[in-house]
Amino acid sequence: MSANVPIIRLIDRFGRLHTSVRLSVTDRCNIRCFYCMPAVDAEFVEKSRLLSFEEIARLASLLVNRCGVRDIRLTGGEPLVRRQLDRLIAMLSRIEGLADLSLTTNGILLGEQAWGLRQAGLKRINISLDTLDEKVFQRISRRSGLEKTIAGIDRAIECGFESIKLNALAIRGITEQEVGRLVEFALQRQVTIRFIEFMPLDADRAWRTDNVLDGDSLLQMIESRFGKVVPIPRDDPAQPAEEFLVGEGRVGIIRSVTVPFCDQCNRLRITADGSIRNCLFAKSETPLRDLMRSGANDDELIAKIQQAIAEKKAAHGIDQTGFEPPERPMYAIGG
């Protein structure tokens, strides 16, 4: 990029600067978690309508070099089911100015791919782990695979990623029995675990407020097992997790429902089929794929991205009367 080309900051009408992108590489997944996907008959985008690696790299370069984006996280679906993902990571890791490249995965395929991902330039990795009980795992995911997930976590640790975090969804009636064991598991491996309040993004539309195991309840459970926890100041105000010292390790709480952090949001999302979404819960999105394929230049794409940011609402509205979840479930949006 020429030094004379100005950075076009992605600032919405509420003054929020967007420097972080969640980029979905596929809507397909190898499990069927009830909080994300239907048990059967999941509808997937035709592969020809997915962004190619070259299209993804073009958008990523544009966002970093022209719009000031600093970090990109690859998501899905399950990103590791996309073939040759390490090739895409190598392409993205070469983007000058990209400070951080990370990925979120369920871990089932991680044991066989972790080293290649690390060698390609992946810096950080988040791994979903809701339970350490195979029967509970199958209840949540409607598939088997806990043993492979744990093996994937251990392999990722061996590969020396700059950061490994475990993500556990906090669901009332399920997570209470898991909290102590999950924290102990993370402490033993010297990785951070974060508990994320259950959000209304399930394909079955079965979510209810009383399904949410809230952050205060989680902290009480952790303190009853491990003693008093010590809050750690946020390094970045846009960081969604509150972190706490627990023994010699860290535990995070993401109160996405009970204490939303929308006023500090710095994220935008790109779906696997190439649309910009300015919020997980947005009711609309701005298509980019067909523009790219019809020959749109960089300035035209940036104008569309700016349009999407300008339309962002002040908050997701989960706690407001009349809230309705987005039409797309989580797997079709990108985590």
| pLDDT tens column, 202-219 | 777 778 888 999 999 999
- CA distances, 47 to each of 51, 237, 331 (Å): 9, 37, 15
pLDDT at residue 300, as a whole number? 97
CA distance linking residue 332 with residue 124, whole number of Å: 23
Closest CA to 331 of 81, 59, 60: 81
Distance between first and last Cα of the chain: 30
pLDDT at residue 232, as a whole number? 96
pLDDT at residue 4, as a whole number? 66
Provide the 8-state DSSP code for 80.
Answer: G
Give the pTM. 0.94
CA distance linking residue 176 with residue 198, whole number of Å: 13
Assign residue 197 a region (left: φ > 0; alpha: ψ between -120 and 50; beta: otherwise): beta
> How would you write the pLDDT of the chain (335 residues) with one tens digit per residue?
445 678 999 999 999 999 999 999 999 999 999 999 999 989 999 999 999 999 999 999 999 999 999 999 999 999 999 999 999 999 999 999 999 999 999 999 999 999 999 999 999 999 999 999 999 999 999 999 999 999 999 999 999 999 999 999 999 999 999 999 999 999 999 999 999 999 887 777 778 888 999 999 999 999 999 999 999 998 888 889 999 999 999 999 999 999 888 999 999 999 999 999 999 889 889 999 999 999 999 999 999 999 999 999 999 888 777 778 778 888 889 87
Q: 222-235: b or e for each residue (b if 16 or more CB lie within 10 Å)?
A: beeebeebeeeeee
Condensed to tens digits (0 to 9), the pLDDT of residues 112-171 reads 999 999 999 999 999 999 999 999 999 999 999 999 999 999 999 999 999 999 999 999
Number of neighbouring beta carbons within 10 Å of residue 263 = 12
Cα-to-chain-centroid distance, residue 25? 12
